[in-house]
Structure 1
Amino acid sequence: MQALQGADQPLPRDKPEGTMRNRDAAHASSWLSRDLTHKLLKVAPAAYRTHVNDLLLTALAQVLCEWSQQPSVLIQLEGHGREDLFDETDLSRTVGWFSSLFPVRLTPQIAPGASLCGIKEQLRAVPDKGIGYGVLRYMGEASFAQQLAALPQARVTFNYLGQFDGSFNEHQGALFVPSADSTGTALCEDGPLGNWLSLNGQVFDGQLQLDWSFSREVYHASTIDTLARRYEQALTTLIEHCTAGHQGVTPSDFPLVRLTQAQLDGLPIAAGQIEDIYPLSPMQQGMLFHSLFDEGAGNYINQLRVNIGGLDVPRFRSAWQAAVDHHDVLRSCFVSQREQSLQVVQRQVTLPFVELDARGQLESWLDDWAQADRQQGFDLAQGPLLRLAVLRTAADAWHLVYTSHHILMDGWSSSRLLGEVLQRYSGQMPAKQAGRYRDYIQWLQHQDAALSERFWTAQLAELDEPTRLLQAFKSSAQEGGYGAYIQLIDADGTRRLNAFAREQRVTLNTLLQSAWLLLLQRYTGQSSVTFGATVAGRPAELPGVEEQLGLFINTLPVIASPRAEQTVADWVQQVQAKNLALREHEHTPLYDIQRWARNSGEALFDNILVFENYPVSEALQRAPDGLVFSDLRNQEQAHYPLTLVVEATEVLSVRFSYDRQHFSAEGILQLAAHFDHLLQSLCAPATTRLGELALPTVWTQSVQRYPSEHCAHQRIEAQVERNPQAIALSFGDQQLSYQQLNQRANQLAHKLREQGVGPEVRVGLAAERGLEMIVGLLAILKAGGAYVPLDPDYPQDRLSFLMHDSGIELLLTQASLLGKLPIPEQVQMLDLA
């Protein structure tokens, strides 16, 4: 009603008292040349992201307003009425009369671009393409229908029927073509005309034709013919403007955000370069805040490094660029305005790709180069937020440094991206993308926030106070940056954990969370504790979500109150149930949850646990023939003081990434040992009570601080001088003193040096558990090499991959194991004995 209200002056009429019967109908025509019609249909709409109808109506509004000397005009639009309003209803093949008629007020501007953009927005503001008007006018409440009837009436009807070239093209096999013969009278001659002016447009034989129908008893033919000529001129001016390089966007182009035209015009990205704009996901908002809050910290800047053999660099670069072109999320940048933060997808970006010759450079030089590249960070307002460098290290060897901002993708997406790049590199086209990241953002906007608030409020009722693990340490560490420690649980231990998880019908992730919650309770002394769990966040109801790239993960609090009298079985089932319960609400923003906790919005935890089931190494294993990947390194850093990243393969790996300002290396070692102990303790009889799972007392004593500048073998040698006869190793009934251990290691180290072992040389170590394994490890360190542990109980294909992936040049093993090991031809062997 608001759009129709106003004191409208009626359109001019030559003979106001004239009759308006079908017998009084006369016609005039507007035409466009084939060239202008082609531009209208194929070129002009791209300038301002309009439809053909927008241009036709803008020209009409301009002509009618100039004729009537009014700033706006009411036009009745006719549509097909088959709108896609209901998911379960498809009217595309239904026979019936669905046409809709509705009025719209159009207000043109003086400048062509401003006029077109303004009318485009006026048309987009009509809900459901006007189908509701007829429902309210003729089927709604009588009082409201009367109000609509009393409003000013549109005296011009417009209907654009579309293109009929294909329908009637004899060369394309059309069954029918229009006849030049008259169809005769279709309407009662004494019936009323539809409106003062009725315009029907269509494209036939490559030309736009617009028919003007009017009453000759009301208008002179010359009047309407003049309007038809002016319309041709106005439409031509619009088309020429749109095809002259002008470009612009309007708020209706981006329905997922609420922006004014002034806000759009203020964006630091040219209108023609903008493909889409939408809000950030909850996790993206958090990452954006922490990235901008402490720009120099390097938070959420990820870096993957890997050695590549047999690389075709131009083809590799093309494959990456094709992936960037294909996925809108890889062309996104992030703009913060005063009211909101926006995710802007750019139409085209060129992937930064550096190619350097690093032959003759040491490994340390590569490390320094990669670190400097990572420290550059990213300007989040300027895409793309990923870059690659290929450093040539030998005639047929390269070192890839792939740096990206975590705000673009989660780990699952990164693994899929690498797989797609390798697929493109091999000449294969990836499957068609089922959806886009914007679909997920749109899905988020339709979730029930009130329902999530009720769920999380109930969960938070169990938590007495935030869980601050770092306060339990009271560390005096003053170092800067982040440190890392990797804890490995051997194949036997991993198998036991998986077997117990299957027995209890829980996931391995649940066991890890159960142990971590127990550890938090023991360290903090709180009855109820929480930590941040990173969830996948991909809604099952979103088609193709598993194949999409983007940041779907979210970090949510897992809150629990383990009781001493609980059995292990009951405890792990409780944790599993909590994870299942939050699945329906895992999209909830963490900042909302913290607000609902009524702790002034402060953080609920200072540590997070991430369970990864998408190792990048698996994507690299599927590399096309000729490509060889080895020595994979992946560096990630969140803003939390402590992050645990678990990678589940045959050997469970737990990476502790910690802020050195809050945690010392010794403290992390203690924490890791306690975590390992509690995790393994869960595999005790399921009826064991949690209160019976004690921490080793030795670890609660003070930890000796060792000089960080001394290597492990140097510390052994120092112990030899202090106490040579003290027992260094004990295995069954076998023992070695520090002196004996050092002597045997020195002897083996000399043999290794004779085989060429030195700095940067990787040596595989495959041995049964026992004294010889430790002797071999120490000998490799003394020779200056790097050891690669190989468990002889691993499957053959796993061992083969590790040997190739690590690039070992020599294998230190035992004669009894030679038949079990798939040793590459180029690898030398040396017996431990």
Structure 2
Amino acid sequence: MSSISSVAGGGDFALTSSQMGVFLGHELSDLPQVYNGSDYWLIRGRVDVPCFKRAVCRVVAEASSLHIRLYRECHEVRQTLEPQEDFDLEFIDFSNAPEPLAMAREHMFGDTEQACDLFVSPLFKFTLICLSANEFIFYQRYHHIVQDGLGSHLIIHRLAEVYSSLLVNQVPTPGSFGPFEELVAADIAYRNSAKFERDREYWTSRFQDVPEPLSLARKEAPLAGTCRYRKAFSSGVVTLLHELPEKLGFNFSQLLIALTCMYLYKMTGQQEVVVGLPVTGRVGKSQRNIPGLMSNILPIRLSILPKHNLQDVLSKVRREVKATLLHQQYRYEDILRDLNLLATQQELFKATVNIERFGRTPLFGEAVASPNNIANGPAKDLNIFFFCDDATENIVLGMDANSLLYDESQLESYADGLQGLFTRVLNNPQSPVGLFNLLSPQEAQRALLEPNQTSCELPRLTLPELFEAQVERTPEALALGHGDEQLTYRQLNDRVNRMAHLLVELEVSRGDGVGVSLSRSTSMLVALLAIAKVGATYIPMDPYYPQERLNTIVEVAKPVLMLVERSGRYRPARGVRCCALDDARVQEWLSCLSSQKKTSNDWRWARCGLCTVYLGLYRDAQGRGHSPWLPE
């Protein structure tokens, strides 16, 4: 059982387990600003600015998590609560600007990208912005070490309540926020409890085999800046999303999770779908009314097969979410530690699915406020959000992504594809997921037709000329790689030219056939390009073909020369001219030849003529070899 000391008296205590995770992430990151979370509320209606400032000052005094100050003591990071005396709300007037909202957004997004010093209080910022006499913005930014998403929602609703009371000269009802110390005490009690051990047993059993993390990027990258994309769902999709849960017997959040997992399954083909699900980490009504950081992100694991329909996936989601909520206090970092994944920096999931429901609309007097998300903390890979305004029933799809893995155009494409799949599944909930196409019929038609609209005037250039033109354009660009060997276009061309000189000295002429029985290597591609440069035809002869098959090819195609390897399996028949490219004498010979190209006449291929570059053979019913390019 984990042993953690109890909360010290006088408001002085250690960080909670969730705070410690954020602290370590912040301190180790080159971009600590990714641990900022922010949003803004657009208030439509008149706002009494002095009254609003008094309301903010009162709410700040009530929310003890906003009083947190971190300090170091004997190599330990601790925290104390220092009340914010006479908190001064920042007020900015953009009403005279040409585009007030654009100016306000630029200011807020810029502020969100500012890194916090964790040892300098306050670790949050509130700003009231005037857009016009009847339109204002309340902007709130928190470092995650003092606030999570639930806490910020508690703040905005309490602020609306206090402002509305002060506006009509009434004394606000007493604040209902519980003290932050209660969350700290609950964290310590949990980690010293038998439930902590039961939760550990559940998670280690659930992930005793570690599935491959699902990612649309299909590659790794360190934590970096965040690329963000937001798009409102169409009214048709919103209507279906609100109507279908009741018909199917599931709730709204379960439906969104199930549909998103179906999309990720279709995009990746991975039947083991593991996504991160943010949870509040709070148990009991009391804890759910305390601003601060307690949230957690935990893995939910689904096995999806092509035969499963929406109802099947929903049943799996309901079971997983129920079990996750029962064990939601157990930290994700502890799961990784228990599974010995921390040392290798492995993850159980890369994509997360977060449903944010804003609840009732905050009313500031008679002015109505609507939510707008900006930032949600770090995005290691891809975080998918559904911002649901229950008052208007609008749903905004958000994607926060690691900027080293995704760009905005990719996120836009994913958002369109996700909304498209949602529409098709919601309209056909009984159909198996394997039957759904990620593309709409119109998109599928474009994908089939547009790439094949290839009618255009082609340059009358030979293969060697096309290759040499590329050499001139990008001489130092990587052209070829095999194993540890890499060649630029210039280096590749030098080797091709030497090989072409060798072929000429071996009396290979335009139109001659040259057999190529080489293993896959840079030498094989060099040989093919050199044969094309001298105007000859290469005859592919896989060294792993049966000897009889190779002898038949030689008999039918009659190559003037065979390029082979001494180490290869092919053993030429008597009388067949061969050049073993891995022979030391041949290598020495090649090194003495020029890497410069000759004229086309010297290499016997004509600029405007056509010649066969490749000669392939097929077998008839009797097993005899034939080629359409050779006379019978």
The two structures have a TM-score, normalised by structure 2, of: 0.60
> Is this contact kept in 2: 1:334–1:381, CA < 8 A?
yes
Is 641-650 or 303-312 further displaced after alignment?
Answer: 303-312
> Is this contact kept in 2: 1:418–1:619, CA < 8 A?
no
> Is this contact kept in 2: 1:501–1:507, CA < 8 A?
yes
In the other structure, the counterpart of 2:34 is 299
Is it true that 1:437 corresponds to 2:187 in the alignment?
no
The alignment partner of 1:497 has SS state of helix
The alignment partner of 2:293 has SS state of coil
Is it true that 1:319 corresponds to 2:55 in the alignment?
yes
In the other structure, the counterpart of 1:642 is 382
CA distance in 2, matches of 1:682, 1:355: 47
Question: Does the C-alpha gap of structure 1 residues 634 and 468 become closer, same or farther in structure 2, counting only changes over 3 Å?
Answer: closer
C-alpha displacement at 1:456, in angstroms? 0.6
> Which among 301, 307, 310 is matched to residue 565 of structure 1?
307
C-alpha displacement at 1:352, in angstroms? 4.4
In the other structure, the counterpart of 1:276 is 11
Amino acid at match of 1:513: I
> Which among 354, 364, 381 is matched to residue 119 of structure 2?
381
The alignment partner of 2:218 has SS state of helix
> Which among 250, 253, 257 is matched to residue 513 of structure 1?
257
In the other structure, the counterpart of 2:69 is 333
Amino acid at match of 1:578: E
The alignment partner of 1:695 has SS state of coil
CA distance in 2, matches of 1:346, 1:583: 33
> Which among 236, 241, 256 is matched to residue 6 of structure 2?
256
CA distance in 1, matches of 2:401, 2:241: 25
Is 361-370 or 439-448 further displaced after alignment?
Answer: 361-370
> Is this contact kept in 2: 1:283–1:555, CA < 8 A?
no
Question: Does the C-alpha gap of structure 1 residues 519 and 462 become closer, same or farther in structure 2, counting only changes over 3 Å?
Answer: farther
Amino acid at match of 1:517: C
CA distance in 1, matches of 2:251, 2:180: 28
C-alpha displacement at 1:671, in angstroms? 1.6
C-alpha displacement at 1:336, in angstroms? 5.6
In the other structure, the counterpart of 1:544 is 286
In the other structure, the counterpart of 1:424 is 162
C-alpha displacement at 1:392, in angstroms? 4.6
CA distance in 2, matches of 1:683, 1:276: 52
In the other structure, the counterpart of 2:521 is none
> Which among 349, 356, 359 is matched to residue 605 of structure 1?
349
> Is this contact kept in 2: 1:463–1:528, CA < 8 A?
no
CA RMSD of aligned residues (A): 3.4
C-alpha displacement at 1:257, in angstroms? 4.7
Greater RCO structure (CA 8 Å; 6+ sep): 2
> Is this contact kept in 1: 2:7–2:184, CA < 8 A?
no
The alignment partner of 1:644 has SS state of strand
In the other structure, the counterpart of 2:452 is none
- Mapping 1:157-196, distance limit 5 Å: none
> Is this contact kept in 2: 1:351–1:387, CA < 8 A?
no
In the other structure, the counterpart of 1:489 is 233
Is it true that 1:531 corresponds to 2:275 in the alignment?
yes
Is it true that 1:624 corresponds to 2:365 in the alignment?
yes
Is 687-696 or 572-581 further displaced after alignment?
Answer: 687-696
In the other structure, the counterpart of 2:505 is none
CA distance in 2, matches of 1:602, 1:336: 30
Question: Does the C-alpha gap of structure 1 residues 403 and 566 become closer, same or farther in structure 2, counting only changes over 3 Å?
Answer: closer
> Is this contact kept in 2: 1:352–1:386, CA < 8 A?
no
CA distance in 2, matches of 1:333, 1:538: 23
C-alpha displacement at 1:588, in angstroms? 1.0
C-alpha displacement at 1:328, in angstroms? 1.2
CA distance in 2, matches of 1:289, 1:702: 48
Question: Does the C-alpha gap of structure 1 residues 669 and 388 become closer, same or farther in structure 2, counting only changes over 3 Å?
Answer: closer
In the other structure, the counterpart of 1:679 is 422
In the other structure, the counterpart of 1:591 is 333
CA distance in 1, matches of 2:126, 2:78: 25
CA distance in 2, matches of 1:358, 1:593: 48
The alignment partner of 1:676 has SS state of helix
CA distance in 2, matches of 1:288, 1:526: 34
C-alpha displacement at 1:577, in angstroms? 0.4
CA distance in 2, matches of 1:457, 1:444: 20
In the other structure, the counterpart of 2:144 is 406
Question: Does the C-alpha gap of structure 1 residues 380 and 421 become closer, same or farther in structure 2, counting only changes over 3 Å?
Answer: same
> Is this contact kept in 1: 2:32–2:116, CA < 8 A?
no
> Is this contact kept in 2: 1:257–1:279, CA < 8 A?
yes
In the other structure, the counterpart of 2:608 is none
C-alpha displacement at 1:663, in angstroms? 0.8
Amino acid at match of 2:6: L
- Mapping 1:69-108, distance limit 5 Å: none
CA distance in 1, matches of 2:131, 2:352: 37
> Which among 275, 281, 285 is matched to residue 20 of structure 2?
285
Question: Does the C-alpha gap of structure 1 residues 353 and 378 become closer, same or farther in structure 2, counting only changes over 3 Å?
Answer: farther
Question: Does the C-alpha gap of structure 1 residues 596 and 675 become closer, same or farther in structure 2, counting only changes over 3 Å?
Answer: farther
CA distance in 2, matches of 1:410, 1:486: 20
C-alpha displacement at 1:580, in angstroms? 0.3
C-alpha displacement at 1:539, in angstroms? 0.5
CA distance in 2, matches of 1:398, 1:569: 44
CA distance in 2, matches of 1:430, 1:295: 44
C-alpha displacement at 1:591, in angstroms? 0.7
> Is this contact kept in 2: 1:386–1:404, CA < 8 A?
yes
Amino acid at match of 2:218: Q
C-alpha displacement at 1:586, in angstroms? 0.5
Question: Does the C-alpha gap of structure 1 residues 528 and 388 become closer, same or farther in structure 2, counting only changes over 3 Å?
Answer: same
Structure 1: 5+ residue stretches without partners: 1-253, 259-273, 704-833
Give a deviation string over 1:743-785, Cα, whole Å, max 9, x none: xxxxxxxxxxxxxxxxxxxxxxxxxxxxxxxxxxxxxxxxxxx
C-alpha displacement at 1:685, in angstroms? 5.2
Structure 2: 5+ residue stretches without partners: 448-632
> Is this contact kept in 2: 1:530–1:605, CA < 8 A?
yes
- Mapping 1:385-396, distance limit 5 Å: 385-392=123-130
CA distance in 1, matches of 2:133, 2:394: 34
CA distance in 1, matches of 2:247, 2:128: 47
> Is this contact kept in 1: 2:183–2:290, CA < 8 A?
no
The alignment partner of 1:429 has SS state of coil
C-alpha displacement at 1:394, in angstroms? 5.1
Question: Does the C-alpha gap of structure 1 residues 449 and 702 become closer, same or farther in structure 2, counting only changes over 3 Å?
Answer: farther
C-alpha displacement at 1:321, in angstroms? 1.5
Question: Does the C-alpha gap of structure 1 residues 355 and 690 become closer, same or farther in structure 2, counting only changes over 3 Å?
Answer: closer
Question: Does the C-alpha gap of structure 1 residues 669 and 442 become closer, same or farther in structure 2, counting only changes over 3 Å?
Answer: same
Amino acid at match of 1:639: P
Question: Does the C-alpha gap of structure 1 residues 351 and 406 become closer, same or farther in structure 2, counting only changes over 3 Å?
Answer: farther
Question: Does the C-alpha gap of structure 1 residues 283 and 352 become closer, same or farther in structure 2, counting only changes over 3 Å?
Answer: farther
CA distance in 2, matches of 1:357, 1:496: 41
In the other structure, the counterpart of 1:651 is 394
The alignment partner of 1:499 has SS state of helix
> Is this contact kept in 2: 1:378–1:385, CA < 8 A?
yes
> Is this contact kept in 1: 2:148–2:294, CA < 8 A?
yes
CA distance in 2, matches of 1:346, 1:653: 37
